[in-house]
Amino acid sequence: MTSRSCLSIVLAAGLGTRMKSNLPKVMHEIGGLPLVGHVVKALKQAGSDRISVVTGPDMPELEKLVQNLAPEAHCHVQHERLGTAHAALAARSALASPSDDVLILFGDTPLVTADTIGKVRRALSDGADLAVLGFETQQPFGYGRLLTDNGQLVAIREEKDASDEERRITFCNSGIMGFSGQHALSLLDAIGNANAKSEFYLTDAVEIANSRGLKVVAVSGSEVETQGINTRAQLAACEEDFQVRMRNFALENGCTLLAPHTVYFSHDTVLESDVVVEQNVVFATGVRVASGARIRAFSHLEGASVGRNSAVGPYARLRPGAILGADTRVGNFVEVKNTTFEDGAKANHLSYIGDASVGSKSNIGAGTITCNYDGYLKHRTEIGAGSFVGSNSTLVAPVSLGSGTFVAAGSVITDDVDQDSMAFGRARQIVKEGKAKQLRERLKAAKETKS
């Protein structure tokens, strides 16, 4: 099958009015990736070498998104919304160039997997001229039923047109279809609109193909994978199914999740084996965690990399560009952004480290802040290996601390510090004997006067 060429057409022109959003429906996200992005990702994994996305008019933001997701993809505009077959024919220019397989999918079915798409392609490679993906459900109401006879799919019967016996069928249409390339355009062109809505429906291709003596089959898929999204409630339900999938994947691949239902993943989260994730952790996009690391409770990670045997949290925040080496520690209420921690470096509590590099085995004391922004530009702080930054220190960037430096607690550092030097940047302490007693007496008298 991998040697067969494949054109995939993704129907994504729907406005999603029931979402009550100005955003095109397929641009809403599951696991940090737009719905259409999940479909495109699965198609690429399934070996589709050509991808066409059908958008609606005045959807430049969707076209830009598609180009970012898959630069090789092409967008086609459906200027009038006259049904699913009409939408597929918006990609006529792509259909005119032959491919062995032609797949038609919907941009609002984000959980379909490459394996399931592969089943449809295998049916085509085994000789089917048209393959329809179906699913079994205990609640078939509202779905088109797949009617088969001796292995041949003879019709898709919509709920309103089905007989009582046909309504008892639980094998339903997902909407995903595969066509042999030599028949795809001809079958789509033959679909008419002689129906109550005067629209062109993809499902009619089944009976047209049968009338031509072509081989039409149904392929079985998962109800979870083929669920479509039309409302916010369905979006939320699909998100939960996606999270279940990601949690199970992590567990099956050697990770420990202490409370799986409280851990949230993005589509691209990578956890190596022997990672431990505690309760209420959120992995936003772009996170990779190496083997042996522990992500403690209530931490939030985005665009970050965590090295082997490192610990993050509890209550830590890793923002984009945070790169932690092996055996590092980022503790409670520490925020790290666009910063590299070399192996063995530590910031155990109550610090903000942004736009910086922290050398190996350095220790950042509680309350330390890198002042990286001057109101106009960001500046970097360089902390050399083996350095010690005392608690409640303020490092005003741009500034560099050489390796082995020692910054006294409470210091404000504005100038570079040489290797193995100690820096004090605070006022000298003054003690005035008896002054506290005098102050209390004065304040007490002032209060009594006012009362």
- Confirm or deny that 143 is annotated as ligand binding: no
Neighbours of 408 (CB within 10 A): 16
Of 64, 68, 69, 14, nearest in space to 41 by CA: 69
Amino acid at site 407: V
Contact residues for 305 (Cβ-Cβ < 8 A; gap 6+) = 287, 288, 289, 290, 322, 323, 324
- Confirm or deny that 361 is annotated as ligand binding: no
- Confirm or deny that 293 is annotated as ligand binding: no
Q: Are 17 and 231 in contact (CB under 8 A)?
A: no
Of 424, 18, 66, 447, nearest in space to 228 by CA: 18
Q: Are 298 and 315 in contact (CB under 8 A)?
A: yes
- Confirm or deny that 122 is annotated as ligand binding: no
Strands (E), 2-92: 6-11, 29-30, 33-34, 50-55, 74-77
User: Which of 86, 183, 300, 349 is the catalytic position?
Assistant: 349
Q: How far apart are the first and last CA of the chain?
A: 91
**Pairwise CA distance, residues 348 & 128, whole Å:** 61
Verify whether residue 349 is a known catalytic residue.
yes
Q: What kind and span of H or E run contains 294?
A: strand 294-295
Q: Are 391 and 409 in contact (CB under 8 A)?
A: yes
- Confirm or deny that 450 is annotated as ligand binding: no
Dihedrals φ, ψ of 415, to 5°?
-120, 155
Q: Are 391 and 367 in contact (CB under 8 A)?
A: yes
Q: What kind and span of H or E run contains 242?
A: helix 232-252
Q: What is the 3-state secondary structure (H, E, C) of 307-351?
A: CCCCEECCCCEECCCCEECCCCEEEEEEEEEEEEECCCCEEEEEE
**Pairwise CA distance, residues 449 & 54, whole Å:** 80
Structure tokens at 373: 């922004």
**Pairwise CA distance, residues 443 & 105, whole Å:** 77
- Confirm or deny that 108 is annotated as ligand binding: yes
- Confirm or deny that 284 is annotated as ligand binding: no
Structure tokens at 342: 């070399």
Binding-site residue positions for UDP-N-acetyl-alpha-D-glucosamine? 11-14, 25, 78, 83-84, 144, 158, 173, 230, 319, 337, 352, 363
Binding-site residue positions for Mg(2+)? 108, 230
Binding-site residue positions for acetyl-CoA? 366, 372-373, 391, 409, 426
Binding-site residue positions? 11-14, 25, 78, 83-84, 108, 144, 158, 173, 230, 319, 337, 352, 363, 366, 372-373, 391, 409, 426
Known catalytic residues? 349
